[in-house]
Structure formats: C-alpha cells, structure tokens
Structure 1
C-alpha cells in the first residue's frame, strides 16, 4: 500500500497557500488602482440656505469678465455691436428669445459664426416663476430647438426674463442641462439715460471685479454708442473679456449667498 509522502503534502499545501496569497494581493492591487484612477464624481450645489440660486458672478483670481446682451426685441444695432466686438477681439454672450430667433435668423447665424455664446432667454419672455414646471420646460426647449436647427448648437446658458426666478425655475433649467445665469453689473441701458450713463454705470460699478457678468441689451437705444468706450476702458483696467461659457465652472462648484459661483477644486 502506498503511503503519502509528508514532505510532498506539505509542499502542495504551501503552493496552494502561496497561490491564494498571490491572488489576494493581486486583487488588493487592482482595487487600489481602481480607486486611484477612478474619475472624480462632479459635485454641484446651487442651493444656499435652502434656496436655489443662479450664477450672478464667478470667484476667480483671473482678471476675466463677461459682457452679455439680451436680445428680445429689435436688431437695428446688432451688426454695429458685432462690428465693435470684432474690432476689439471681444467674445460676448447673447441671450435670445424664441421670437427674436424667428424674426432674425440671419443675425443668430452671424452671432454664432463670430464665435460668441448663444444663450437661451426663453421662448416668450414671460415671468418664469409664474409658470408651471411643464410650461417652464417648454419655454426652454422651444427656443433651444430653433437655435439648434439654425446653428447645430445645443445651448447651455439660460437667463430668465426680467431676472425673475424661483427654486422651480433653477431646478427646471438644470434638469434641461442649462446653467442659469444672472448678472452682477447692470448697465441700465434699457432706461435710455444716454451713452455716458451706461459707461459710468458699468466702468465705475462697485460690483465690478474679476468674474463679473455685465448685462446689456442689443436693442437698447444707446448701447452701441457706449460699447466701444466700455470695452477699451475695462481693457485698460486690465480686464479680459471672455464669453460666459468660458468664465463659469461647469462642475465641482457651489454658490455663496450673493450668487457667486465658487470652485470646489
């Protein structure tokens, strides 16, 4: 009768244990690698004190600001504005209503071809906070589809008409892949006080700083007359104009109580 060799049995047990240890170490190594190289999950918080906020301005060390134009009526000055922006190599952001897009499709294409941001200003320029969630969604999507058909662009920036919003408006915008945008510097150009008033209101504004968003209107009476001086004055102060899509953080951010967007990285 064959008798098992004790040395052979010990060797087999050693080999089995060694294999188990190797497999275990390999699994641990793979887990460490997975954790190390796993993409970070984007963190976005727009709620402050239980209230949802849009982006008014951006916290940044870079001397960058954005100038924006709400386009809801008229196009008489649009080409002049585009010419001035091009002359000074400034890229801006245009927030357009559905009615404006329908009335001036060629201007929409010109704005896009000039390299400016295309922004959503709702379909009918209504007070968004007074609408149901479904109505808010339709106000966003109708103009979105019109602009995409004209330019192929999926807009990501939304400015509520009249700056009117509530929690529902902000959440609806986010649900439709939009960053809600307000402003920190109001030109008050819509009051028609004249070009000098616009220049002073913007360039001497106490809220003007790195990350500011300036509000203008392409259809206001004196905006085109003030624009060049506004640009050269602010460039002279060391500011660089960038479109809002380049100014804001796309993820990993939170808001402070003033609506300033702050990076978490």
Structure 2
C-alpha cells in the first residue's frame, strides 16, 4: 500500500470517527436536555393524554355524571348529592343542555361542576381540529348563556380521543377528563353491581375519577349506598375542578396527572 492510499484510508477513518462521535454527542445532549416531565404529553410516545386520575396524597376522589340522553333521574341524583353535602361534575352534551335548560341551571345553582360532553356526542377522533372546536364551543356558549358560567372541563364522547381532540380542547380552554373507575352503570347490571364495582374497584385510590351516567337505569338507586361506601373508606368526594391541578403539571404514560 503506497503513501497516498495510506493517507486516504486515514482520512476516511477520521471522518467516520467524527460522524460517530458527533452522533453520540447529539444523543447524549438530547437525553440531558429533554425534560423528564412533559406537560400534557406522554413522554415516551408523544401521544397527548387526557387526565384519567390525579396523583394526590390526600384521600380525595371525584364523582362524575355524563348527561347525554335521559333526564328522569337528575332531580333525584341532585337530592342525594345534597343529602351527603357533596359536589359532583356533570358532563353535558349540547342537545341535553338545549332540551333540559332548567336542569342545567339546577346543577349550576347547587354548586356542581358544569362540564362539556360535546355538541352531538360524535366520535371526535374522526373529526378535524376545526370540527372538534365547533363541537366544544356550541355547548360552551349554550351554558354560558343559561348560567353565565364558562366551562373548562371536557369529556370526549365514548372516551374517544386522539392528539387532535386533546389539542383542540386545550386551545379552547379545556382540560380533557377521562376516568379510572368505571361504575359500569350503563350496562344495567343492577344496583349491587354498581356499588360493588365502584367500592371494590382495583383502581380506586387517592385522585380517582369515577364515571357514572345520570340516565342509567340503576344509578339513582345505587348512588346513596355508593357514596356512603366511599366515605367509609375515608374518601372525600370533590368536583373535578377541585381534584385536578391547574397551571403547570405533567402526565405519566397512564394518564395520571402530577403537579410540577
């Protein structure tokens, strides 16, 4: 091998070493600079996440009701909540708001959270960002006109979401709220089933968000005992607005909200 070939070989080796070293330094810098706490995002996949539950040291949980179809039991539910002196969160569709304006006012007057459940209860992951915003703002304006209140809590219909839905909600001033304890009241399994499902749920813990429906067949009959059971376990029931953290927070990959 002559001198020129040796020089060419050495130059190639040096270039390769520089590329490898540069790549290593970039990766190392990325690991150092990327924050461990990502606001509203799943830090491992970049997927936007709603709030499924909240990391809390105190024994607080939230009771939520989706209001999209029926209304026969709303007054009874409000009476039971009043009896126990607790506040809940009602996620309402635009159609429900329009059809039952006096009940919307009653919920607001009783001091419960008013939450947005979209205008027409669509699978919002199939909508464009503009369509998602429209689905949010129509019920928002209806509630504002009825009660003077600005809603800021949103639950997507069917629990169906994607990055577009979460970002549209955030741009519209909303936190997106899911649940980690499903009462399964919508399956109509009966009163005892609802009570046992909630009270003995494997995920029930500090910061849990419990899903119920104001129009499910057995919810009103199970509610009193369910609330009593939660209290006996030492839980304080608060509306979602008091459970979640506002301002600076981050999410883990299970949708648990942490305060920064």
Q: Do they superpose with TM above 0.5?
A: yes
1:46 pairs with one of 40, 50, 60: 40
Q: Residue in 2 aligned with 1:175?
A: 171
Residue 108 (structure 1) aligns with: 104
Alpha-carbon distance in structure 1 between the residues aligned to 2:39 and 2:166: 12
Is 1:202 aligned to residue 185 of structure 2? no
Distance in 1, Cα, partners of 2:225 & 2:173: 35
Deviations 1:169-206 (A, max 9, x none): 00000000000000000000000000100001000000
Ranges in structure 2 where 5+ consecutive residues have no aligned partner: 1-36
Whole-Å separation in 1 of the counterparts to 2:136 and 2:72 = 25
User: 1:60·1:211 contact (CA, 8 Å) conserved in 2?
Assistant: yes
Deviations 1:124-146 (A, max 9, x none): 00000000111101000000000
User: Alignment length, in residue pairs?
Assistant: 222
Report the TM-score, using the length of structure 1 for normalisation.
Answer: 0.83
What are the ranges of 5 or more consecutive residues in structure 1 without an aligned counterpart? 1-42
2:158 is equivalent to residue 162 of structure 1: yes
Tell me whether 1:222 sits opposite 2:213 in the alignment: no
Cα deviations by residue, 1:203-239 (Å, 9 ceiling, x for unpaired): 0000000000000000000000000000001101110
What secondary structure does 2:125 align onto? helix
Q: Secondary structure of the equivalent of 1:47?
A: coil
Find 1:239's aligned residue among 235, 244, 254.
Answer: 235
Distance 1:44 1:256 in 2: 8
Q: 2:52 aligns with which of 50, 56, 78?
A: 56
Higher mean displacement: 118-127 or 44-53: 44-53
1:252 positional shift: 1.5
Q: How does 1:1-265 map to 2 (within 5 A)?
A: 45-48=39-42, 49-264=45-260
CA distance in 2, matches of 1:247, 1:133: 28
TM-score w.r.t. the length of structure 2 is 0.84
The offset of 1:44, in angstroms, is 7.1
Q: Alignment partner of 2:64: what SS?
A: strand
Q: CA RMSD in A?
A: 0.9
CA contact (8 A) 1:184 1:212 kept: yes
Verify the 8 A CA contact 1:44 1:251 in the aligned structure 2.
no
List, as ranges, runs of 4+ consecutive aligned residues in structure 1 with deviation greater than 3 Å. Answer: none
